[in-house]
Amino acid sequence: MQFWQAIARTQVDQLVPIAQLVEKLGFSGVTMSDHIVRLQKIASRYPYSATGEMAADESTPYLDPWVLVGALSRATKTLRFMPYVYIPALRDPFSVAKSISTAAVVSNDRILIGIGVGWMAEEFALVERMFEKRGRRTDELLAVMRKLMTGEMVEHHGEFYDFPPVQMAPAPRLSPPILVGGHSPLALRRAAASEGWLGVNYDLEAVLPILHTLRDLRRASGREELPFDAAIALNTPPEPEELVRLEEAGVTMIVNPPLLCPTGEMSSFSEKRDRLEAYAARYIASSGA
Amino acid sequence: MQFWQSLALTEMDELIELAKIAEEVGFAGITISDHLATPRVIRTRYPYTEDGKPMWEADDDFPDTWVLIAALAQETTRIRFMPFVYVLPMRDPFSVAKLLSSAAVLSGDRVVLGAGTGWMEEEFALVQREFSRRGRRTDEMIEVIGKLLCGGPVDHEGEFYSFEGVHIAPSPSRPVEIRIGGLNRAALRRAARHDGWLGLNHTPDEIREIVTFLDDERKSLGRSDRNFDVMIAYYPAAPESPNARDGGEYVQFRDVGVDSVNVPPWRYRGLGGVSLDEKRRSLEDFAERYILPLSN
């Protein structure tokens, strides 16, 4: 089992020391969030909380995930990075492929691409990208991105994107895995066709049926033997026997939520350090990682 | 005079070391080139060569400006970073503000936005952004980006963008300097409204004329008291006396009002493919010959 730490919403000046600390403590990677803007009025419902509101306020920092990878990867050696989740459909496939390729190159291939199709209609409107059909557009966008990231002269003629031969460089040496977030039937199908699934804020009993569904989908499409990651952020820290059940069900990555509660948004580095050390002592040391 | 080293068209695995060396020997900054993808067929004329053909190949590396800046900034402490130039109207102002503020915050405010309106119509088509009216859109984008970078909720009502209560966090602790590239009058006027102009290869006489134009514009805008930086991209073509330590040809540019020089990458100086050690020596030699005599 890999243990990952969410660093979303962490104060900017603590990001580098936190990344260095979690690497030292044996975490496999860190996850970050993606929002281009925040809006004072949001009519869209946030799908991952009971209230439908985001646990963030106006001053909560959201750095661009790939720019952040640029900095953190140069401050660490083995730590891996994954947005949880990045919304490609807010961008065009060229800008997406360009950012991710460069992040892959400067980090020596230490990135995973965690994606979602997005939920905040207002954010799509601002950047003039269509909110409707964003699922299908995301699929085509990722296909275009994969083509561009081969570094070859490529062309594409699809429903949303159509272009003559172009070439993009630098290209990553390895194609970074794509993990898909969300639990709608469509999201699960998309995940099953990719390299992994990302779960957000689940109870153990809710997540097991989803993992079974993913296994069935992958079996049905003949992808059962291919590598597949399942990452989850649980509502409550797992007990040792729960970890065993999760591992048996196919979970490969546990994501520890951001270090905000109960110490609060502005907790100090030393408060965070104490909690990370306690977490690592409980989970990582005992798992032999 | 300040000297910046371009890291365009340079080996990807040498960029970090070169940024460190440039900082060590006294360069003020690093510039980075911006291209998303290169089409096999480019019908638009490249405005900066005589034959209208671009000066690079389709498989040349153009790393992402902001991701690269964050990586280089993590490995350095003082040197600044600027895209030369970032094509604004291929993007939306919100995405640019987010990328720029992320790089500014992570680098400790060592970022300058070098911006242009672009020339390659094919590249705009790839990202589905309008090519016509890109000058006016650039102006409004700069206004919107400036508002967003101040932090706090922003309203805007304009020709291209209208919105209420939008903000980005984190925002840089001080305003990001904006310098404008381009050779026509519209570009020079746009530059005069901001913090600097980015030129290319010019004669001292041309520069004198451009500086006069910029000064007049800035005066009529009431901006004469503000800092303004005139940059050229130039490297002495003729071999100069090997022992000269007097600033060489750059002196005459300084005397007509050039504040900064973007030193072209090795490939444009006929040194494509030289080793990292040779690049290091060339940076050290450049510093001795030009940076030290002309530092101010």
Instruction: Quick: pLDDT tens for B144-198.
Output: 999 999 988 999 999 999 999 999 999 999 999 999 999 999 999 999 999 999 9
pLDDT at A265: 61
pLDDT at A147: 98
Rounded Cα gap, residues A80 and A274, in angstroms: 22
Using the Cβ of B126 and the Cβ atoms of chain A, whether some distance falls under 8 Å is answered with yes
Disruptive mutation site among A10, A11, A16, A37 for chain B (greatest number of B CBs within 10 Å): A37
Using the Cβ of B103 and the Cβ atoms of chain A, whether some distance falls under 8 Å is answered with yes
In the predicted model, is pLDDT for residue A37 greater than 80? yes
Distances from the Cα of A58 to the Cα of A7, A77, B151, B165, B166, angstroms: 17, 33, 9, 10, 9
* Average pLDDT score over chain A: 91
In the predicted model, is pLDDT for residue B11 greater than 70? yes
Torsion on CA atoms A126, A128, A133, A137, rounded to nearest 10: -120
B293 residue type, one letter: P
Q: In chain A, helix, strand, coil percent, each to 5?
A: 40, 20, 45
What residues contact A248, with CB distance under 8 A and at least 6 apart? none
Residue B121 belongs to a domain with what CATH number? 3.20.20.30
Contact between residue B268 and residue B201 where contact means Cβ atoms under 8 Å apart: no
Cβ-Cβ contacts under 8 Å, B10 against chain A: none
- The backbone torsions φ and ψ at residue B291, rounded to the nearest 5 degrees and listed phi first, read -70, -50
Report helix, strand or coil for A59.
coil
In the predicted model, is pLDDT for residue A262 greater than 70? no
Establish whether the linkage from the previous residue to A85 is cis, with ω within 30° of 0.
yes
| Residue A148: both structure tokens together | 């561009």
pLDDT at B239: 60
- Cβ contact (<8 Å) for B62 and A74? no
Instruction: Quick: pLDDT tens for B60-108.
Output: 999 999 999 999 999 999 999 999 999 999 999 999 999 999 999 999 9
pLDDT at A111: 98
Rounded Cα gap, residues A49 and A56, in angstroms: 12
Q: What is the CB neighbour count within 10 angstroms for residue A193? A: 14
- Cβ contact (<8 Å) for B74 and A36? no
pLDDT confidence band for A273 (50 / 70 / 90): very high
Residue range(s) defining the domain that contains residue B130: 2-294
Q: Report the gap between the CA of B154 and the closest CA in chain A (Å).
A: 9
Rounded Cα gap, residues B73 and A69, in angstroms: 12
Could you say which of 3.20.20.30, 1.10.10.10, 3.30.460.10, 3.30.9.10 is the CATH number of the domain covering A2-284? 3.20.20.30
pLDDT at A289: 46
pLDDT at B50: 85
- The residue with tokens 């970078």 is B149
**A58-92 CB burial, b ≥16 within 10 A, e <16:** eebbbbbbbbbbbbbbbbbeebbbbbbbbbbbbbb
Share of chain A above pLDDT 90, in %: 75
Supply the ipTM of this predicted assembly: 0.96
Rounded Cα gap, residues A106 and A75, in angstroms: 11
List the single residue in A39, A60, A70 with the smallest CB-CB distance to B68.
A70
Rounded Cα gap, residues A147 and A31, in angstroms: 25
Instruction: Quick: pLDDT tens for A147-156.
Output: 999 999 999 9
Instruction: Quick: pLDDT tens for A107-136.
Output: 999 999 999 999 899 999 999 999 999 999
Q: What is the mean pLDDT of residues A13-37?
A: 96
Report helix, strand or coil for B126.
helix
Instruction: Quick: pLDDT tens for B26-42.
Output: 999 999 999 999 999 98
Torsion on CA atoms A211, A217, A220, A221, rounded to nearest 10: -120
Rounded Cα gap, residues A174 and A111, in angstroms: 10
pLDDT at A286: 63
Disruptive mutation site among B64, B75, B77, B163 for chain A (greatest number of A CBs within 10 Å): B64
pLDDT at A235: 76
Instruction: Quick: pLDDT tens for B253-269.
Output: 999 999 999 999 999 98
| Residue B176 CA from chain centroid, whole number | 13
Q: Which of A40-49, A228-237, B25-34, B158-167 has the lowest mean pLDDT?
A: A40-49
Number of domains chain B contains: 1
Q: What is the DSSP string of A87-122?
A: -GGGS-HHHHHHHHHHHHHHTTS-B-EEE-----HH
Closest to A125 in 3D by CA, of A84, A89, A161, A162:
A89
Closest to B116 in 3D by CA, of B194, B26, B45:
B194
Domain residue extents for chain A: 2-284
Rounded Cα gap, residues A233 and A237, in angstroms: 9
Task: Give the residue on B whose Cα is nearest the Cα of A166.
Answer: B39
Rounded Cα gap, residues A285 and A168, in angstroms: 43
Closest to A228 in 3D by CA, of A182, A180, A196, A192:
A196
Partners of B4 in the β-ladder: B29, B262
Instruction: Quick: pLDDT tens for A153-181.
Output: 999 999 999 999 999 999 999 999 999 99
| Residue A164 CA from chain centroid, whole number | 31
Using the Cβ of A130 and the Cβ atoms of chain B, whether some distance falls under 8 Å is answered with no
pLDDT at B246: 78
Share of chain B above pLDDT 70, in %: 97
| Residue A105: both structure tokens together | 């190159």
A20 residue type, one letter: Q
| Residue B282 CA from chain centroid, whole number | 22
- The residue with tokens 């044996």 is A26
